[in-house]
């Protein structure tokens, strides 16, 4: 077995660096916090999944601490997960790991994997772990920033979403942004795939969206990191590592 208590797993997204160490999950406020954690903690190896422009900086911080980062890459057919992309290099590693984590947790089921982060990503998998495709759209915060930043005289949305129609401009913005995302998720799930497919929701905006989704869902926080840990466990098993 891999000694995961000595391994730091990093999910470097567009806005945050999330981590798992042993049974703990959290977020590093900045690269300095990461450096301090590696220096002070019991960390023998670091495994990184990154879609961020900060990848080189993260690797550099680790290198300065004497740790060579292991960077996860998308592999078609890994753990039986077959991808629909003709060129899997174009599939974000975060989407792949979320799907991998979902397949591990919910084997033998048709699955919708919804990752509500900076981008809202939806992917469909059949029960034999075959990726059928998906969609990518703007996340809640990015939609609010884009709308208010590029439209004159609109106040900044506070993302304080409610289930009521807006009764002022901010309320209308918030309602439109959140229900646009809800409608995309529910219409996609309804229009494509199996009627019995399980919807698995993860990502930083999951708690905002959950109260407004009418379809049954499973909330799976940290799904990308769980997929990363599963990936690394299998890599070590394939390499004959029995830590």
* Binding region for K(+): 115
CB 178 within 8 A of CB 140: yes
**203 three-class SS:** coil
Structure tokens at 80: 């039986």
Distance CA 202, CA 18 (A): 13
Residue ranges for the known binding site for ATP are: 11-18, 118
The gap from C-alpha 24 to its chain's centroid, in whole angstroms, comes to 17
Active site residue 40: no
Tell me the HSE value of 36 on the side-chain side, using a 13 A CA sphere. 6
Strand partners, 71: 48
- Rounded to 5 degrees, φ, ψ at 135 are -145, 155
Residue 211 DSSP label: G
Longest Cα–Cα distance of the chain, Å, equals 62
Query: What residue ranges in 13-77 does DSSP mark as E strands?
Result: 17-21, 24-28, 45-50, 70-71
CA dist 94 and 49 (Å) reads: 7
Cα–Cα distance, 212 to 178 (Å, whole number): 9
Where is the binding site for substrate, in residues? 85, 92-95, 169
SS3 117: coil
One of 40, 94, 110, 128 is an active-site residue; which one?
Answer: 94
With beta carbons less than 8 A apart as the criterion, state whether 9 and 232 touch.
yes
Q: Give catalytic residue positions.
A: 94
């Amino acid at each position: 077995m891999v000694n995961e208590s000595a391994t730091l797993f990093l999910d470097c997204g567009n806005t945050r660096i999330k981590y798992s160490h042993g049974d703990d999950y959290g977020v590093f406020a900045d690269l300095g916090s990461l450096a301090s954690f590696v220096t002070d903690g019991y960390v023998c190896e670091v495994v990184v999944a990154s879609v961020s422009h900060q990848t080189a900086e993260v690797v550099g911080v680790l290198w300065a601490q004497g740790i060579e980062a292991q960077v996860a890459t998308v592999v078609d057919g890994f753990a039986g997960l077959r991808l629909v992309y003709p060129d899997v290099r174009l599939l974000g590693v975060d989407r792949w790991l979320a799907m991998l984590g979902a397949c591990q947790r919910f084997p033998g089921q048709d699955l919708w994997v919804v990752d509500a982060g900076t981008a809202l990503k939806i992917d469909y998998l059949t029960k034999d772990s075959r990726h059928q495709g998906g969609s990518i759209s703007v996340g809640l915060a990015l939609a609010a920033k884009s709308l208010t930043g590029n439209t004159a005289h609109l106040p900044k949305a506070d993302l304080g979403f409610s289930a009521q129609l807006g009764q002022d401009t901010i309320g209308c913005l918030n309602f439109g942004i959140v229900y646009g995302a809800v409608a995309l998720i529910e219409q996609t799930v309804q229009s494509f795939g199996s009627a019995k497919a399980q919807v698995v929701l993860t990502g930083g905006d999951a708690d905002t969206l959950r109260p407004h989704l009418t379809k049954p869902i499973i909330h799976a926080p940290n799904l990308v990191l769980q997929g990363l840990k599963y990936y690394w466990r299998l890599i070590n098993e394939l390499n004959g590592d029995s830590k």
